[in-house]
Structure 1
């Protein structure tokens, strides 16, 4: 007997209990998909019973991707698009019928599209996450299935060379000046916060007025990239600009001009500010690198820099170690300089 109930999230959960078979539970974003699945399972369980195989029905890949995305809580907006591509490769195949050779063929196709190694690796890691979720799922973790993406025969691709840019002091001044005259009056605040906190663009755009504690000069990030909350110390110039724009609402600080709970699309404003400040190439994310650069050049330790940036490991902060060469030289001179 199958039962379908609507969850608080808006999804529909199917629970199927039949004598002699283990309980099967699945969640779908649409009720029609839940009904179709229940009919499919009930139709197959009779065959399973006759064959003496009381096992859960293995879902097809496309169906499993829908289940995966229903519980996905990550911040990567490209995940759905990558899985859509993989569904085009083997969407109608049962998950356990997909092997490392099929995965490798898919990666080779991506390579022939002249995608960079870093981009292909993102497709690869997204696919692997789907298989990991399957392997760890209570209904299938005893199936003996092994994540095919992790097999040795699957191709590996080199990451792109880093194009990190560190703005000079003069470039930072020119950029902030251009932002002050932007048609979007909050661009200056956004860039100033990025340069002084090292926060990511997505983290800043999600800030609400309730996230700001004006008395302690701190902004609270409820969820960062690594899934942990983080506090951002705010400088006096940032607080001053926040006070100028302060609203008595709990809406996003950097909201759209149309919807107050939708982040503003900064692309046009950002490009215009770069052009006006005569900066040829700079991603918004490079403001994060620049913030780290400013701290290292001021003599702060890599540990302190990593703490501000919210790095989960020291290896992520090590990319800035070359900026601290002068401090390293001073350390060596003061300790080792007496050796002759």
Structure 2
């Protein structure tokens, strides 16, 4: 609402003081000598604020992108992100400051961001070398969140240049799907079971049975720790309910992971012989408060099994691939892996073609009856 107050000075001069106050927006004031001018300004200002046009001439010209990034790093990142994400976003946002941080928000345009994209493609970021398409996308996700808050919460901008134009990103490579065929699976299972390291086989079984990430697998506890790890995923085994509760995950969600068959049996065995000086399921033999390092034992098992071009993370792909070939839907696979969207599991869709064909066949049979 706008209010106009008539003021008379000691010399008898008349002026009109205007106040425009709308909920959620900063108070706007101005003084005029004529009432008609005061009314006109009040009406236009109130209209401009409601339509999101006013603050370009005010807040957007008062603040630079560097100021916005500083506010974001100080007041948003510590509350919104875990320590690992803060470490990743910090250098990215500092790179943006070095490139266009000097510009006031009102002067930002899509052209500036196109130029920055080309710099990332041709010369890279802080390391000075060309970046992968996914890393370039991460740069734009980070700055995009800053600009979103500038516009939607802080009211420092009336327009977001990243939303006004389509800025083409480098095409992301197709996700690699590497999973074990039956022979490879049998050989690697045997090699892990015969490993001198007694924790390799149960960790392998658990990873391939549940699809948990390596950090989630290696940071499992028999009971909730007094000081949970703050920079990584972790969870607690619940044998009574045959499940694992992941309290921290990569996407920040709490997740329940069911335990069945061999995975449950292996954890039950470990529980009977677990160390008393550590709450970890897979503790280091020399530093029981830290997870064991299985890299050497894993590489030896791969070599013995003659399995090439295979990483521990590919066990997660195995889980998803076997689920798809077993007829699980994309939604079910996403739930098992802990993905919020289906984008990451679409890479497995071709493995369920036979299942999809059967679904279509059953639908047609129900509608039209058995084939003649």
Q: Name the TM-score, length of structure 2 as normaliser.
A: 0.64
* d(CA) in 2 for partners of 1:89, 1:183: 53
Deviation of residue 219 (structure 1)? 0.5
Aligned partner of 1:104 in structure 2 is: 114
| 1:197 and 1:234 in contact (8 A); partners too | yes
Indicate which of 139, 142, 147 corresponds to 1:123: 139
5 Å-filtered alignment, 1:1-340, equals 58=63, 60=67, 63-64=70-71, 66-67=73-74, 68-74=76-82, 76=85, 78-91=88-101, 98-113=108-123, 114-137=130-153, 140=154, 142-152=155-165, 154-182=167-195, 185-210=198-223, 211-242=236-267, 243-244=269-270, 246-248=274-276, 251-255=279-283, 260=288, 262-264=290-292, 266-333=294-361, 335-336=364-365, 338-340=370-372
Change (3 A) 1:332 1:54: closer
Unaligned runs of 5+ in 1: 1-21, 23-52
Change (3 A) 1:123 1:319: same
Once structures 1 and 2 are overlaid, which stretch shifts more, 83-92 or 194-203? 83-92
* d(CA) in 1 for partners of 2:103, 2:193: 55
3-state DSSP class of the match of 2:334? Answer: helix
* d(CA) in 2 for partners of 1:93, 1:279: 53
* d(CA) in 1 for partners of 2:112, 2:133: 19
Change (3 A) 1:106 1:315: closer
Unaligned runs of 5+ in 2: 1-25, 27-57, 124-129, 224-235
| 1:197 and 1:308 in contact (8 A); partners too | yes
* d(CA) in 1 for partners of 2:158, 2:297: 49
Change (3 A) 1:55 1:105: closer
* d(CA) in 2 for partners of 1:118, 1:160: 9
| 2:105 and 2:157 in contact (8 A); partners too | no
Deviation of residue 99 (structure 1)? 4.0
Deviation of residue 191 (structure 1)? 2.3
| 2:61 and 2:105 in contact (8 A); partners too | no
Deviation of residue 181 (structure 1)? 4.8
Deviation of residue 193 (structure 1)? 1.4
Matched length: 286
3-state DSSP class of the match of 1:212? Answer: strand
| 1:166 and 1:286 in contact (8 A); partners too | yes
| 2:61 and 2:106 in contact (8 A); partners too | no
RMSD across aligned positions (CA): 3.5
| 1:127 and 1:149 in contact (8 A); partners too | no
Structure (1 or 2) with the larger CA radius of gyration: 2
Change (3 A) 1:97 1:182: farther
Deviation of residue 150 (structure 1)? 3.1
Change (3 A) 1:54 1:286: closer
